Amino acid sequence: MRMQKFWNLLWLAGLLLTATGCGSAVKVVSQTNPNPFTASTRLMAKKLIFSEMKVDNGFEADFVTSQGPDFKAKWETEKEFLAKIYRDAMKAAAPAVNIYVSQETADMFIIRPQIKEMTPGGAGKPCKILLSVRLLQGNATRDIIEVTAETKPDGDFADLQKRIRETVRKLGEYTAEYLKKRLGV
């Protein structure tokens, strides 16, 4: 009887953590063992990749078209800015990790982030983004993680553009947390 009660409580705790958004934002898809990373590992952070991104279960091109004729040029500029937000947040959240954004050298591991899915969240809905991050050494994939973030449409984030930017900033922070653990810093 006690064991059944224990499992029921454990199941309920897991359900509550998931429902309240307290579950992990990082899911390890694959990880090289033994760990090839050390505290002195140098990492080159590439720009966010948007190719093959799904937006509201459709394609990016459909999303851009639905926003009106002037949106395409603005979106291209915004993607560059989002890439900067992601890399800046990652570097700020992990100052002890050697993350570079230019001058790649052969000894560096590569951080290749690709946005897989984005739900921008219309009026009153949260923005949700799923990011796949590959850590590469040369052409070999060492680790793959999936990072998710969400920003609710309240307070400072009622504006859709601010909500997307905040969600990308969170993705950078969550990626940095994984890197810190993986590099042991």
Q: Is residue 91 within 8 Å of 111, Cβ to Cβ?
A: no
The domain spans of the chain are: 24-183
pLDDT digits (tens, 9 = 90+) for 144-174: 999 999 999 888 787 888 999 999 999 999 9
Considering the domain 24-183, what is its CATH architecture? Answer: 3-Layer(aba) Sandwich (3.40)
Give the model's confidence band at 30: pLDDT under 50 very low, under 70 low, under 90 confident, else very high.
Answer: very high
Percent of the chain with pLDDT over 70: 88
Give 167's contacts (C-beta < 8 A, 6+ positions apart). 127, 128, 129, 149, 150, 151
